């Protein structure tokens, strides 16, 4: 079915957010089916939904990226953005929120207000977009809508406003009551039938009163009418609620079941009545290339400005860029400007996206969402705009990677293919990073968690045909010395013709430096000056590899104090070799020690887990420096920690705090490693050698 063109006033951009397993994809599928787009209802368990089309999603039966589903409901267009609930794929949630004008937090009637729901709500509030709730899975035996509703009121306060509630008898939903219409409905195969209002006692009046109180708060006129005892008309209720939702003062609650289609039509009606239309929310504050703020108004006749919020990489087709038009139109066969690169981009085909399918369209108008392919220089977060009116829109904000693994190609000679493939995949998911560690020379893949890295490796195999293994990355240790020594380095070699001769006395001493410091105090020409650079080079080359475990040597001053030479056999190479021999002989005598990197840890955790976190930091040889209250009711624990012990800390923290905790870790300094660590590292080095 071909999509019609809609003006911004008829478009709703809605992100489904929430915890993994709450039923976001199933709800998207139910909406898709009810709007007549599909002949049968797909199911996540069967791997045949429109949104979970990626092979990884089909295999795991969970969303790992954001999918877009444009629907036509009555006389409006709803662009559904089905976002992942797994914490490892939080980047998908941020992409969906960036493009949305409102968010529906989907909750399970069995699980209640979970961490994923809290994070989805917080992301919507931070973006300042309208927020609604849908309590799903009420067909399940142990579902309890009213318990979930009380949890919502407790967590999010008086803004939570019931719109559709179930009437339950014998632990089973008998009908759904729409408090706006004051009517009840039963469902069979998704078809609603009006039935008499059930006797819910005082609960029904209490819920109705909650709506009226919320509506009264939206304007002085309605407040006056409420206190005078007059009933609100249906139009006043809808207009008042819509106003409160747009202002972020009211968060309506709907309910039902995506699997048996109960209540889904009422959610769609709620989105039609209450969700802000694109015309009212798409306007943004951007910047000119000179940094001057500029306000963008939604108008198809204005110069074009669109934000790229998602990238999909295909090794054969190239990149597919998903964008939201803030103003103007993105037309096929036009030219747009990318302010980040300073280059014009030739727009070929413009498309609407439905899951994995694309449909060509002449243009995508203001407030709508579309896609374009084969723009090599443009990526997620970039602005595409009219070359005559350049503007930069706020980019997508992503979480920083917290888990790093070393990557090794299974087959030798495929390192370049691995690097190329991972670079392409990092374009698709900006929360992963691929780089070469300058210290250890290892290729590093960093992301938000183990599942994300596992999916990345699977995609590398399926899309680019290369296999890799992941392992804990090496730690960039250092070595230094603790006492001064004076040693001789003598290189003498006779062969036919000229021989080789170099003789130096070097004094090694501790100092405060990032690399070996060279000085000379030679008197009387014992070593000619023209050989000093060769001695220095021999020492500095040697210092790249310590004598304990092969790590770079720091904090050492090497002073050339004496030596001798041969007028014929001496050469720069001979003195360089003599210096290296002095290093090899002297450093083991100077009490060499291993230095380990320390980092500054700021760990944000709920108050009830601070004791566990502090205990874990101590177990990892960290030193807690203090703690203080932070945002969102969390506590920030500050500590100094050995970087070598923090490799899997993100996994432990997520498990221990149910996903609520997070941290930052920045390099601080090097410090002497304990004897047990030194022994372990040296043993590993000898085995490797």
Shared-domain flag, residues 38 and 180? yes
The answer to whether residue 393 sits within a structural domain is no
CA distance 58 to 66: 14
Range of weakest confidence among 232-241, 615-624, 644-653: 232-241
Task: State the CATH number of the domain containing residue 451.
Answer: 3.30.70.870
Beta-carbon contacts of 496 under 8 Å, excluding residues fewer than 6 positions away, are none
- Higher-confidence residue of 509 and 278: namely 509
The answer to whether residue 274 sits within a structural domain is yes
pLDDT tens-digit readout, 21-42: 999 999 999 999 999 887 788 8
Across 390-449, the runs of DSSP E, i.e. the strands, are: 403-409, 433-436, 443-447
Shared-domain flag, residues 179 and 46? yes
Question: Which pLDDT score, from 0 to 100, does residue 315 have?
Answer: 67
Pinpoint the alpha helices (H) of 402-516.
415-428, 450-464
Query: Is residue 387 classed as helix, strand or coil in its secondary structure?
Result: coil
If we measure between CA atoms, which residue out of 27, 33, 19, 40 comes closest to residue 257? 27
pLDDT tens-digit readout, 137-177: 999 988 999 999 999 999 998 899 999 999 999 889 999 99
Structural domains of the chain, count: 5
Shared-domain flag, residues 164 and 262? yes
- Residue 689 pLDDT greater than 80, yes or no: no
- Residue 363 pLDDT greater than 70, yes or no: yes
pLDDT band for position 212 (cuts 50, 70, 90): confident
If we measure between CA atoms, which residue out of 40, 46, 104, 48 comes closest to residue 78? 104
Question: Which pLDDT score, from 0 to 100, does residue 210 have?
Answer: 84
Shared-domain flag, residues 423 and 381? no
- Region 512-532: mean pLDDT is 90
Which one of 241, 264, 281 terminates a domain? 281
Say which DSSP state 262 is in: B
pLDDT tens-digit readout, 128-144: 999 999 999 999 988 99
Beta-carbon contacts of 174 under 8 Å, excluding residues fewer than 6 positions away, are 166, 167, 168, 186, 198
Question: Which pLDDT score, from 0 to 100, does residue 202 have?
Answer: 81
- Higher-confidence residue of 523 and 382: namely 382
Shared-domain flag, residues 215 and 316? no
Q: What percent of the chain has pLDDT over 70?
A: 98
C-alpha separations of 94 from 37, 51, 271, 463 in Å: 27, 17, 21, 24
Q: Quick one: how far is CA 236 from the chain centroid?
A: 41
Shared-domain flag, residues 72 and 189? yes
pLDDT band for position 237 (cuts 50, 70, 90): confident
Question: Which pLDDT score, from 0 to 100, does residue 3 have?
Answer: 66
- Residue 496 pLDDT greater than 70, yes or no: no
Shared-domain flag, residues 550 and 504? yes
C-alpha separations of 240 from 75, 130, 237, 621 in Å: 21, 14, 5, 57
Query: Is residue 505 classed as helix, strand or coil in its secondary structure?
Result: strand
CA distance 354 to 525: 82
CB 545 within 8 A of CB 583: no
The answer to whether residue 390 sits within a structural domain is no
If we measure between CA atoms, which residue out of 493, 452, 306, 302 comes closest to residue 385? 306
CB 417 within 8 A of CB 463: no
The answer to whether residue 395 sits within a structural domain is no
The answer to whether residue 186 sits within a structural domain is yes
Question: Which pLDDT score, from 0 to 100, does residue 316 have?
Answer: 66
pLDDT band for position 534 (cuts 50, 70, 90): very high
Which one of 281, 300, 317 terminates a domain? 281
Shared-domain flag, residues 494 and 585? yes
Q: Characterise 497 by phi-psi region: left (phi > 0), alpha (psi -120 to 50), beta (else).
A: left
- Region 315-334: mean pLDDT is 89
pLDDT tens-digit readout, 253-306: 999 999 999 999 999 999 999 999 887 765 688 999 988 999 998 889 999 999
Q: Say how many C-beta atoms besides its own lie within 10 A of residue 295's C-beta.
A: 8
CA distance 689 to 682: 10
- Region 110-137: mean pLDDT is 94
What is the chain's mean pLDDT, rounded?
A: 92
Beta-carbon contacts of 178 under 8 Å, excluding residues fewer than 6 positions away, are 163, 164, 184, 185, 266
Give the number of residues written for the chain: 689
In SS3 terms, 573-591 reads as HHHHHHHHHHHHHHHHHCC
Cβ-in-10-Å burial (0-12, 13-18, 19+) of 45 comes to exposed
- Region 190-214: mean pLDDT is 87
Shared-domain flag, residues 506 and 572? yes
CA distance 600 to 582: 38
Listing DSSP states for 61-88 in one string gives TS--S-EEEEEEETTEEEEEEE---SGG
Which one of 590, 613, 638 terminates a domain? 590
Listing DSSP states for 157-217 in one string gives GGGEEESEEEEEETTEEEEEEETTTTEEEEEETTEEEEEPPP--THHHHHHHHHHHHHHHT
Tokens of 84: 């992942």
Task: State the CATH number of the domain containing residue 337.
Answer: 2.40.30.10
Task: State the CATH number of the domain containing residue 490.
Answer: 3.30.230.10
Range of weakest confidence among 19-28, 216-225, 508-517: 216-225
- Region 79-107: mean pLDDT is 96
CB 505 within 8 A of CB 521: no
The answer to whether residue 2 sits within a structural domain is no
Task: State the CATH number of the domain containing residue 608.
Answer: 3.30.70.240
Shared-domain flag, residues 368 and 484? no
CA distance 175 to 185: 5
Look up the domain containing 408 and give its range.
403-471
- Higher-confidence residue of 376 and 340: namely 340
If we measure between CA atoms, which residue out of 60, 182, 49 comes closest to residue 458? 60
pLDDT tens-digit readout, 402-422: 899 999 999 999 999 999 999
CA distance 563 to 474: 40
CB 558 within 8 A of CB 517: yes
Q: What percent of the chain has pLDDT over 90?
A: 75
Shared-domain flag, residues 444 and 545? no
Shared-domain flag, residues 129 and 264? yes
The answer to whether residue 437 sits within a structural domain is yes
Helices 90-99 and 115-127: crossing angle in degrees, nearest 10, is 40
- Residue 453 pLDDT greater than 60, yes or no: yes
């Amino acid at each position: 079915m071909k999509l019609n063109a809609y003006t911004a006033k008829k478009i709703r951009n809605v992100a489904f957010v929430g915890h993994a397993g709450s039923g976001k994809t199933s709800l998207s599928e139910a909406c898709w089916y009810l709007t007549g787009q599909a002949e049968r209802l797909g199911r996540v368990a069967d791997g045949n939904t429109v949104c979970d089309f990626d092979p990884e999603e089909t295999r795991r039966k969970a969303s790992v990226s954001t999918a877009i589903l444009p629907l036509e409901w009555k006389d409006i267009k709803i662009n559904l953005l089905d976002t992942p609930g797994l914490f490892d794929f939080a980047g998908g949630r941020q992409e969906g929120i960036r493009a949305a004008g409102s968010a529906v937090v989907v909750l399970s009637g069995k699980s209640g207000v979970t961490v994923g729901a809290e994070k989805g709500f917080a992301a919507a509030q931070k973006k300042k977009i309208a927020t609604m709730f849908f309590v799903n899975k009420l067909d399940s035996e142990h579902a309890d809508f009213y318990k979930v509703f009380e949890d919502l009121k407790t967590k999010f306060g008086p803004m939570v406003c019931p719109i559709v509630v179930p009437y339950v008898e014998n632990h089973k939903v008998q009908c759904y009551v729409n408090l706006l219409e004051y009517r009840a409905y039963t469902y069979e195969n998704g078809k609603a039938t009006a039935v008499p209002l059930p006797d819910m006692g005082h609960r029904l009046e209490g819920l109705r009163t909650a709506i009226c109180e919320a509506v009264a708060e939206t304007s002085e006129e309605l407040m006056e009418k409420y206190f005078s005892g007059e009933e609100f008309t249906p139009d006043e209720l809808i207009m008042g609620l819509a106003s409160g939702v747009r202002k972020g003062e009211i968060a309506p609650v709907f309910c039902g079941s995506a699997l048996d289609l109960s209540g889904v039509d009422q959610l769609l009606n709620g989105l039609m009545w209450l969700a802000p239309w694109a015309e009212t929310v798409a306007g943004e504050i951007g910047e000119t290339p000179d940094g001057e703020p500029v306000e963008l108004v939604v108008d198809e006749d204005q110069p074009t400005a669109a934000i790229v919020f998602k990238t999909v990489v295909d090794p054969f087709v190239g990149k597919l860029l998903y964008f939201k038009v803030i103003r103007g139109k993105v037309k096929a066969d036009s030219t747009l400007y990318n302010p980040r690169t300073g280059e014009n981009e030739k727009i070929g085909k413009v498309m609407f996206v439905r899951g994995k399918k694309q449909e060509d369209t002449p243009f995508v108008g203001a407030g709508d969402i579309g896609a374009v392919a084969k723009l090599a220089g443009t990526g997620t977060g970039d602005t595409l705009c009219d070359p005559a009116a350049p503007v930069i829109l706020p980019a997508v904000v992503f979480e920083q990677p917290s888990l790093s693994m070393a990557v090794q190609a299974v087959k030798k000679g495929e390192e370049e293919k691995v690097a190329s493939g991972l670079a392409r995949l990092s374009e698709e998911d900006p929360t992963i990073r691929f780089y070469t560690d300058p210290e250890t020379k290892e290729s590093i893949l960093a992301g938000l968690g183990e599942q994300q890295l596992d999916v990345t490796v699977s995609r590398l195999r399926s899309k680019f045909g290369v296999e890799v293994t992941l392992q804990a990355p090496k730690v960039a240790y250092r070595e230094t010395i603790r006492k001064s020594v004076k040693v001789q380095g003598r290189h003498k070699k006779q062969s036919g013709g000229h021989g080789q001769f170099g003789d130096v006395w070097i004094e090694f001493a501790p100092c405060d430096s990032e690399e070996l410091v060279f000085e000379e105090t030679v008197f009387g020409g014992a070593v000619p000056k023209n050989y000093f650079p060769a001695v220095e080079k021999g020492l500095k080359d040697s210092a790249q590899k310590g004598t304990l475990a092969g790590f770079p040597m720091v904090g050492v001053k090497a002073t050339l104090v004496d030596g001798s030479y041969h007028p014929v056999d001496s050469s720069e190479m001979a003195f360089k070799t003599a210096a290296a021999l002095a290093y090899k002989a002297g450093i083991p005598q100077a009490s060499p020690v291993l230095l380990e990197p320390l980092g500054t840890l700021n760990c944000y955790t709920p108050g009830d887990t601070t004791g566990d976190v502090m205990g874990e930091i101590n177990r990892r040889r960290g030193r807690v420096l203090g703690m203080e209250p932070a945002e969102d009711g969390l506590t920030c624990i500050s500590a100094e920690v050995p970087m070598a012990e923090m490799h899997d800390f993100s996994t432990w923290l997520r498990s221990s705090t149910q996903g609520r905790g997070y941290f930052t870790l920045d390099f601080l300094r090097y410090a002497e490693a304990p004897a047990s660590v030194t022994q372990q590292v040296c043993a590993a080095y000898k085995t490797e050698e």
